[in-house]
Amino acid sequence: MTDSNPDRSAAHKPFRRLLLTGAAGNLGKQLRGALAAWADVVRVADIAPLGEVAAHEEAFVVDLADETKVHALLEGVDAVIHLGGISVEAPFEDLLEANIRGLYNLYSAAQKQGVKRIIYASSNHAVGFHPVTSVVDVDAPLRPDSLYGVTKCFGESLSRYYFDRFGLETVCLRIGSSFEQPKNSRMLVTYLSYRDFIELVRCSLLTNRVGHAIVYGVSNNRISWVDNTKAAFLGFRPQDSSAQFEHLFPAGAPDTNFDDPTQLFQGGPFVLAGPMEPKR
């Protein structure tokens, strides 16, 4: 996706202004510095403090559930990387505001402001109740493993609607486990390195046409539960692997507890995480 404005071409940057939501979060912090190479101005937003603001950045502390502020946030934006919201299981009332109402506000504002593309941080937990004995592709039935996963299914459906109805393109990133290193043996399968995450976002932003696409965010791990063949047009080629961390979780004899759902399903502990009681 490129900008035909000759001033942008001369500057060798594809975008005039990119918006990054969730910029204070784990992945937002990893991505934030890379965006300077792709846009003249990077607008960073979060409900949490954003820290030091670089010369090329515009910082907004915004609750995405606030419709008026979200519409202002999207003014003048060419494309959005949406990492905002809650990324774990939580009480439904919290998920409703952050992951459902907030996402609707974002898409509504993006459409009205003429934004052309959104990169949406979905999750492998949208399909977490598929068994570990299967390999899922982008056409696998949605099988959320938690209320958090349900909100990601909503996000994928909402983004599909906005493409079909308004032509607003979205790449849904079904992110696995993106940390400095895996925290358990399950994450050896779902691991996405920070470097591969940044490359996945780059491919999703710069591919000329994406329509409505879904891609699994995982590195080139030795064991995989996902098949990205149908998203190959994005050009995402992961360079890293969890193999370097396998010594941290040495393989043992198969567990004989065949009734443990955390071992039976791809979502792992998320399949037992909710629902949770609301905060008081």
- b/e code 131-140 from CB counts within 10 Å (16+ = b): eeeeebebee
pLDDT of 95 > 80? The answer is yes
User: 136 has which bridge partners?
Assistant: 226
Residue 222, class by beta-carbon neighbours within 10 Å (0-12 exposed, 13-18 middle, 19+ buried)? exposed
Task: Give the DSSP letter string of 138-194.
Answer: TTSPP--SSHHHHHHHHHHHHHHHHHHHH--EEEEEEE-B-SSS-SSSTHHHHB--H
CA atoms of 239 and 246, how far apart (whole Å): 17
CA pseudo-torsion sign 61, 64, 67, 73: positive
Structure tokens at 95: 């998920």
What's the whole-number mean pLDDT along residues 199-222?
98
Segment 18-53, tens digit of pLDDT: 999 999 999 999 999 999 999 999 999 999 999 999
Q: Grade residue 273 by pLDDT with cuts at 50, 70 and 90.
A: confident
Alpha carbon of 72 to those of 4, 88, 174, 213: distances in Å?
Answer: 25, 28, 28, 27
Instruction: Report the pLDDT value the prediction gives residue 254, as an integer from 0 to 100.
Output: 79
Residue indicated by tokens 């992110």: 175
pLDDT of 166 > 90? The answer is yes
Tally the C-alpha atoms within 13 A of residue 94's C-alpha that lie toward its C-beta: 16
CA atoms of 228 and 203, how far apart (whole Å): 14
Could you tell me which residues come within 8 angstroms of residue 237 by beta carbon, excluding any fewer than 6 positions away?
Answer: 199
Catalytic residue of the set 104, 107, 120, 148? 148
Share of the chain above pLDDT 70, in %: 94
For the full predicted model, state whether its pTM sits above 0.75. Answer: yes
CA atoms of 78 and 84, how far apart (whole Å): 18
Structure tokens at 73: 């946030």
In angstroms, how far is the first alpha carbon of the chain from the final one? Answer: 46
pLDDT of 6 > 70? The answer is no
Segment 187-203, tens digit of pLDDT: 999 999 999 999 999 99
Other Cβ atoms less than 10 A from the Cβ of 109: the count is: 22
Instruction: Report the pLDDT value the prediction gives residue 106, as an integer from 0 to 100.
Output: 98
**Residue type, position 10, single letter:** A
pLDDT of 3 > 70? The answer is no
pLDDT of 241 > 50? The answer is yes
Lowest-confidence segment of 21-35, 92-106, 243-257 by average pLDDT: 243-257
Q: Which domains does the chain have, with CATH numbers?
A: 6-272 (3.40.50.720)
148 is catalytic: yes
Other Cβ atoms less than 10 A from the Cβ of 165: the count is: 9
